[in-house]
Amino acid sequence: MADIEINSLMKQFGTFKAVDDVNITVNDGEFVFLLGPSGCGKTTTLRMIAGLEMPSSGRIAIDGRNVTFLRPRYRNVGMVFQDYGLYRHLTVFGNIAYPLEVRRLGRAEIASKVEAVARTMQITEVLQRKPDQLSAGQLQRVAIARMLVRDADVFLMDEPMSHLDAQLRGQMRAELRHIQKTVGVTTIFVTHDQLEAMTMADRIIVMKDGEMLQFATPREIFERPATEFVATFVGEPQMNILDARLIRLEGRIVAMTEHFAVPLDTDWAESNGLVARLETPVRVGIRPEHIAIREKPDADHRIVAELYSFEPTGAENLYVLQCGSVMVTTRSSTTETAHLSKQEGSSLAVRFDPNWIYLFDPATGRTIA
């Protein structure tokens, strides 16, 4: 068990900064996710923690010990890679036993540890098979078993579920979270899948272009995103973003888009200093679940939109609406919208919940309020 402290970590390939000024403190036993799009520097960061890549500058400490330039084997970290990295010529037993053999443990001890971890990962029946005789789900379990078998201080996982089908991924999310919490080993998990991070993490680090944009709990990331990028990266379907200008209309502050006004909560607008931003452009963000729709306009549902496409998902209905040149997606429960038209081209009335509006600075991308 150990905490991890990373200060001013930077990695440069030639003149390109793949990781830039990353600062992270991971608490003992915590499950932390590195989340971001392809190429944002997640894997490079993880490889530096593992010792597979040397930093250009910065410091990495595990359990208070400076490991920045130590070789991987002296760091006591267990790792699972995207391609699992299993030895094809060894059986499952041999693969899981391998890290213990390297450390010269006795035969009986190795056998009992391998069998125990095989039971946890439910792969006892395949211990004598070779990797090419296993399904993707079994391969992944073996790779995790090999990581678990060592008494590592830290676990590092790089997209370990990327080869699994959707159903198995869903199952493995719950299982991995359960195992991590049961074993209690500090773990860093790399993914570009926001759902994976949101459902499993204690805290998430969102990265983009080598930089950390936010380090917070899933709930904070979702409800108080630091930037427009973070806001649109988490949540499915993604947050709607509209270009607008803040103006005063009929005594209240509204965000005026090209085609309609989005009323803001007055107290909120004033306490967030929006008066000083009147007449300036903003980006308005609203999540699909915070847009209500009705058949006919009323005092609250003033925006009239045309149904562009209707997408039933089972428990929920997605409505993609066209308001002038602006498209917005809404998400409502099937029962709530049962009576509404599902016919493309029909007219619907829309209300943006003023309590759930986000405003972003178009120049910096940072959250204004």
Question: What are the distances in angstroms from CA 107 to CA 101, 125, 147, 279?
Answer: 8, 20, 19, 75
Per CB under 6 A, does 13 bind ligand ATP?
A: yes
- Binder among 1, 39, 109, 217 for ligand ATP (CB under 6 A): 39
- Measured from the Cβ of residue 28, the count of other Cβ atoms closer than 10 Å reads 13
Q: Are strands 4-13 and 57-62 parallel, antiparallel or unpaired?
A: antiparallel
CB of 47 to ligand ATP, least distance (A): 7
In angstroms, the CA 361 to CA 369 distance is 9
Which residues, 6+ apart, have CB-to-CB distance to 163 below 8 Å?
Answer: 82, 136, 139, 140
Question: What are the distances in angstroms from CA 167 to CA 91, 138, 171, 174, 184?
Answer: 27, 14, 6, 12, 26
- Binder among 6, 9, 18, 323 for ligand ATP (CB under 6 A): 18
Nearer to ligand ATP, 38 or 182 (CB): 38
Per CB under 6 A, does 285 bind ligand ATP?
A: no
Nearer to ligand ATP, 18 or 145 (CB): 18
- Measured from the Cβ of residue 224, the count of other Cβ atoms closer than 10 Å reads 14
Binding mask 156-195 for ligand ATP (x = CB under 6 A): ------------------------------------x---
Candidates 336, 264, 260; CA nearest to 295 is 336
Candidates 253, 220, 251, 244; CA nearest to 234 is 220
Residues that contact ligand ATP, how many (by CB under 6 A): 11
Question: What are the distances in angstroms from CA 80 to CA 111, 136, 142, 265?
Answer: 21, 14, 10, 48
CB of 293 to ligand ATP, least distance (A): 36
- Binder among 35, 42, 147, 208 for ligand ATP (CB under 6 A): 42
From the list 42-50, 134-142, 172-180, 257-265, the region that binds ligand ATP by CB under 6 A is 42-50
From the list 31-39, 107-115, 263-271, 328-336, the region that binds ligand ATP by CB under 6 A is 31-39
Question: What are the distances in angstroms from CA 85 to CA 61, 76, 150, 173?
Answer: 26, 18, 16, 21
Nearer to ligand ATP, 192 or 331 (CB): 192
Nearer to ligand ATP, 38 or 167 (CB): 38
CB of 228 to ligand ATP, least distance (A): 20
| Crossing angle for the helix pair 92-102 and 107-120, to the nearest 10 degrees | 130
From the list 23-31, 33-41, 228-236, 318-326, the region that binds ligand ATP by CB under 6 A is 33-41
From the list 40-48, 63-71, 170-178, 258-266, the region that binds ligand ATP by CB under 6 A is 40-48
The contact set with ligand ATP (CB under 6 A) reads 13, 18, 36, 38-44, 192
